[in-house]
Amino acid sequence: MTTLLPGSAPPTASTGEGPATVSVRGLSHWYGTGSMERQVLQGIDLEIHPGEVVLLTGPSGCGKTTLLTLVGALRQVMEGSVRVLGCELKGSSRHERQLLRRSVGMIFQGHNLLRCLTAEQNVQMGADLLPDLGYRARRDLSREWLRAVGLSDHLGKLPHDLSGGQKQRVAIARALAAHPRLLLADEPTAALDSRTGREVVDLLKRLARDEGCGVLMVTHDPRILDVADRLVRMEDGRLWASEVTVG
């Protein structure tokens, strides 16, 4: 039996069909100017389809986070094409990028919780992005997501009363509460023990499958590679043709 995620629609997703969630073509990126200029991405091509979980691996400093932030509309695209949920980011306006980011969930290493808000209030910020939901519905949704990540007993706690792994799970619940159509995650299991890390990636996989959400996840964690529909390896700013279909 399939258990639906909080507030989710019945499963409709199919992996690899329909328009791509992300389509990157010939993407290059540089940092610095003049003699300090350094190319960090070199002609990247990548597609992610609705419901697909793509894991990105590669050595430290090879450009993984840069790629994630470009796809997440957090940086201006310098060269190449990045289409996310039908929106071309090359040449896009700040307003267009802001609108797009409402449909993109992001889980980065420093979980960025607001220190003065409880776990429940932090997650509610994610639910606030959903249109047409009253206060009570948003609060209930936040509680359901916190239950889904195993934190029902910590609703009223402030971030400094939570462990690193618990904070990471709040950040994950906040990203998922907004019902993203694309989820970008930078080492989401880094601060988690192996059991919690496994639960979190299984949750992300379910989100992808049940809601047709594309997932791009950077990881160094060999214990979770099996969650991938596809593994992509980056070295020196290039995606090598080692796109391995996992299972």
In degrees, rounded to 5, the angle at the alpha carbon of residue 87 between the alpha carbons of residues 82 and 90 is 45
Q: Choose between 31 and 240: whose C-beta lies nearer to ligand ATP.
A: 31
Instruction: In angstroms, give the least distance from the CB of 169 to ligand ATP.
Output: 21
Instruction: In angstroms, give the least distance from the CB of 109 to ligand ATP.
Output: 8
Instruction: In angstroms, give the least distance from the CB of 50 to ligand ATP.
Output: 25
Q: Choose between 40 and 85: whose C-beta lies nearer to ligand ATP.
A: 40
Residues that bind ligand ATP in the complex, under the rule CB under 6 A: 31-32, 40, 58, 60-66
Instruction: In angstroms, give the least distance from the CB of 52 to ligand ATP.
Output: 21
Q: Choose between 51 and 58: whose C-beta lies nearer to ligand ATP.
A: 58
Q: Choose between 2 and 35: whose C-beta lies nearer to ligand ATP.
A: 35
Q: Choose between 119 and 215: whose C-beta lies nearer to ligand ATP.
A: 215
Q: Choose between 42 and 121: whose C-beta lies nearer to ligand ATP.
A: 42
SS (H, E, C) the chain: CCCCCCCCCCCCCCCCCCCCCEEEEEEEEEECCHHHCEEEEEEEEEEECCCCEEEEECCCCCCHHHHHHHHCCCCCCCEEEEEECCEECCCCCHHHHHHHHCCEEEECCCCCCCCCCCHHHHHHHHHCCCCCCCHHHHHHHHHHHHHHCCCHHHCCCCHHHCCHHHHHHHHHHHHHHCCCCEEEEECCCCCCCHHHHHHHHHHHHHHHHHHCCEEEEECCCHHHHHHCCEEEEEECCEECCCCEECC
β-pairing, 53-57 vs 230-235, is parallel
Instruction: In angstroms, give the least distance from the CB of 32 to ligand ATP.
Output: 6
Instruction: In angstroms, give the least distance from the CB of 153 to ligand ATP.
Output: 33
Q: Quote the distance between the C-alpha of residue 128 and its chain's center.
A: 18
